[in-house]
Amino acid sequence: MRFVAVTPVSLAAIAVLAVGAAPALALPNYNGDYDNTPYTTMVPPVTVVTTAPPADIQSADQARQDYYQNKLDAAQARADQAISERDQALADRDAAQGRLYDNRVIDDEDQTDDIP
C-alpha cells in the first residue's frame, strides 16, 4: 500500500475545490421541475399590535431619565472643574519655576561680578 504525502499545493487545490462547491450547496430548494422554479410557501399575514405604555409609566421613565441625566451632567461639571484646577496649578507651577530660574540667573550674574 502506498502513502501519498500531502503537499501545500495539493492542500490549496483541495481548498479551491471545497470553496467552489460551497455555492452549489447554498442554492435554494427546488421543487424538482426542470424549469428551476423554487418552492414557495404561503405565510399568513402578521398583524403587529403596538401599544404605548400608560402615561404614569411614561412619566416615571422620563423622571428616571432626567434624574440620571442630571447626575451625569453634575459629574461632568465636577470633572471639568477638576481639569480647570489642574491646568491652573500647572500654570502656577510653571510660573514659579520661571521665577526661580530668573532669580538663579541674577544670583549667578552677581557672583561673577565679585571675581576680579
Residue 97 and residue 104 in contact, taking contact as beta carbons nearer than 8 Å: no
Supply the pLDDT for residue 94.
Answer: 92
Instruction: Using alpha carbons, list the distances in angstroms from residue 84 to 70, 76, 94.
Output: 21, 12, 15
| Tens-place pLDDT, residues 38-90 | 556 666 777 878 788 888 888 999 999 999 999 999 999 999 999 999 999 99
Domain ranges of the chain: 8-31+53-114
The pLDDT mean for the chain works out to 76
